[in-house]
């Protein structure tokens, strides 16, 4: 078997040659920030079952804890595979793959985002399951912030932003570009006005990647850690916020799934939100 994938820009390509022996949806805060999404889906394969199919010179590395160094494409920001810091295996972001193994379980379910409700009957673990032998990293508690402000930040802390306007819409997008950009099952994006978002730290450390044949699609990410950051879009007069970067509860939740015709074959929607084949115009 060969299952091939790439990052959003296509610079980084890889394959796995066996069914992953584990597939987790990880809801920890670090994964949410790295992907800008509700959770990262990780497939674990043995080193001999993983091959690069391209150059790897655009890959950047960020050491997110003493246990793990994460990797992303420095051109487009997609999370790309990396060796596990704890075990002799490779960690592959399932979101870049159209087809493959369904997730076995949710991990760090107790840490899931306040704006995301886990549904469905996959087992939920508050930590790594015991059989993996993997250790967790403690999360830093967050100091209370100013009233009426929703704070967000990247994994490395270089970029921080504040949202002061309500979200007009929050939705889960399953399109091909969102899946690759977030290297996740789907993106969850919130939309607010341009002047509702202010970068308070590190705006000069943002990187931008626009998909060449797309009208609007652009990924904004931290150059150091690859976390997905807000995108201000003057053409449409809106700001698009990848929800995984939020530190505070936005008190808004996704209201629908869009582009479900393009959903990853390994993923299943288990909530009862409305689904749309494309993006509704109203
Ligand atoms: Zn790329
Ligand atoms: Zn995680
Ligand atoms: Zn960063």
Contact status, residue 83 vs residue 47, Cβ threshold 8 Å: yes
pLDDT at 225: 98
pLDDT at 219: 98
137 has a pLDDT exceeding 80? no
DSSP for the chain, written as a single string: --EEEE-SSSSSEEEE-S--SEEEEE--HHHHHHHTSS-EEEEEE-GGGEEE-S--TTEEEEEEETTEEEEEETTT--EE-EE-SSSSSEEEEGGG-SS-PPP-EEESGGG--TT----SSS-B-SSS-GGG-PPP-PPPP-----TT-EEEE-TTSS-EEEE-S--SEEEEE--HHHHHHHTSS-EEEEEEEGGGEEEEE-GGGEEEEE-TT-SS-EEEEETTT--B--EEETTTTEEEEEGGGB-S--S-----EE-GGG--TT----S---B-SS----
- For the beta carbon of residue 48, count every other beta carbon within 10 angstroms: 9
- List, as ranges, residues with CB under 5 A of the ion ligand 3: 154, 156, 158, 222, 224-225
- For residue 3, report the distance from its CA to the centre of ligand 3, in Å: 30
Confidence of residue 29 (pLDDT cuts 50, 70, 90): very high
- For residue 108, report the distance from its CA to the centre of ligand 2, in Å: 7
- For residue 148, report the distance from its CA to the centre of ligand 1, in Å: 36
Among the bound ligands, the one closest to the CA of 113: 2
- For residue 222, report the distance from its CA to the centre of ligand 3, in Å: 5
What are the boundaries of each domain within the chain? 3-129, 150-262
Average pLDDT, the chain: 95
| Among 236, 185, 180, residue whose Cα is nearest residue 209 | 180
Among the bound ligands, the one closest to the CA of 38: 2
Which of these CATH numbers, 3.40.50.300, 3.90.1590.10, 3.40.1790.10, 3.30.390.50, describes 3-129? 3.90.1590.10
- For residue 71, report the distance from its CA to the centre of ligand 1, in Å: 11
- For residue 162, report the distance from its CA to the centre of ligand 3, in Å: 15
C-alpha distances out from residue 103 to 120, 138, 141, 266, 277, Å = 12, 24, 29, 8, 23
- For residue 154, report the distance from its CA to the centre of ligand 3, in Å: 4
Among the bound ligands, the one closest to the CA of 25: 2
Q: Please state which CATH number belongs to domain 150-262.
A: 2.170.150.70
- For residue 142, report the distance from its CA to the centre of ligand 1, in Å: 32
How confident is the model over 26-41, as a mean pLDDT? 97
pTM of the predicted model as reported, rounded to 2 decimal places: 0.95
- For residue 236, report the distance from its CA to the centre of ligand 1, in Å: 25
pLDDT at 31: 96
- For residue 80, report the distance from its CA to the centre of ligand 3, in Å: 16
SS (H, E, C) 23-89: EEEECCHHHHHHHCCCCEEEEEECHHHEEECCCCCCEEEEEEECCEEEEEECCCCCEECEECCCCCC
- For residue 41, report the distance from its CA to the centre of ligand 1, in Å: 18
Confidence of residue 153 (pLDDT cuts 50, 70, 90): very high
The percent of residues above 70 in pLDDT, for the chain, comes to: 100
Identify the bridge partners of residue 197 per DSSP, sorted by sequence position: 163
Domains 3-129 and 150-262 share a fold: no
Contact status, residue 148 vs residue 164, Cβ threshold 8 Å: yes
- For residue 64, report the distance from its CA to the centre of ligand 3, in Å: 10
Confidence of residue 19 (pLDDT cuts 50, 70, 90): very high
- For residue 109, report the distance from its CA to the centre of ligand 2, in Å: 10
The pLDDT tens digits for 58-80 are: 999 999 988 899 999 999 999 99
Confidence of residue 282 (pLDDT cuts 50, 70, 90): low
- For residue 144, report the distance from its CA to the centre of ligand 3, in Å: 21
Among the bound ligands, the one closest to the CA of 159: 3
- For residue 27, report the distance from its CA to the centre of ligand 2, in Å: 6
The pLDDT tens digits for 84-124 are: 988 899 999 999 999 999 999 999 999 999 999 999 999 99
């Amino acid at each position: 078997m060969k299952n091939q994938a790439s990052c959003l820009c296509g610079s980084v390509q890889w394959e796995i040659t066996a069914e992953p022996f584990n597939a987790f949806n990880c809801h920890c805060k670090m994964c949410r920030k790295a992907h800008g999404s509700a959770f990262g889906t990780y497939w674990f394969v043995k080193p001999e079952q993983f091959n690069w199919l391209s150059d790897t010179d655009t890959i950047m590395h960020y050491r997110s804890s003493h246990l793990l160094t994460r990797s992303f494409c420095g051109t487009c920001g997609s999370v790309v595979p990396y060796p596990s810091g704890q075990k002799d295996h490779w960690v592959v972001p399932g979101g870049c793959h159209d087809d493959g193994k369904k997730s076995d379980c949710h991990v760090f379910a107790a840490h899931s985002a306040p704006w995301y409700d886990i549904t469905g009957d996959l087992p939920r673990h508050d930590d790594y399951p015991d059989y993996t032998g993997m250790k967790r990293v403690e999360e830093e508690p967050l100091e209370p912030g100013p009233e009426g402000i929703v704070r967000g930040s990247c994994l490395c802390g270089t970029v921080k932003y504040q949202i002061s306007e309500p979200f007009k819409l929050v939705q889960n997008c399953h399109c091909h570009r969102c899946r690759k950009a977030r290297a996740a099952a789907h993106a969850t994006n919130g939309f607010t006005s341009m002047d509702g978002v202010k970068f308070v730290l590190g705006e000069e450390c943002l990187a931008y990647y626009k998909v060449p044949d797309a009208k609007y699609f652009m990924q904004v990410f931290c150059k150091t850690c690859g976390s997905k950051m807000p995108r201000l879009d003057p053409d449409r007069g809106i700001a698009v916020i990848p929800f995984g970067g939020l530190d505070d509860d936005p008190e808004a939740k996704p209201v629908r799934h869009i582009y479900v015709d393009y959903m990853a074959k390994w993923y299943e929607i288990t909530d009862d939100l409305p689904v749309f084949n494309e993006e509704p115009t109203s």
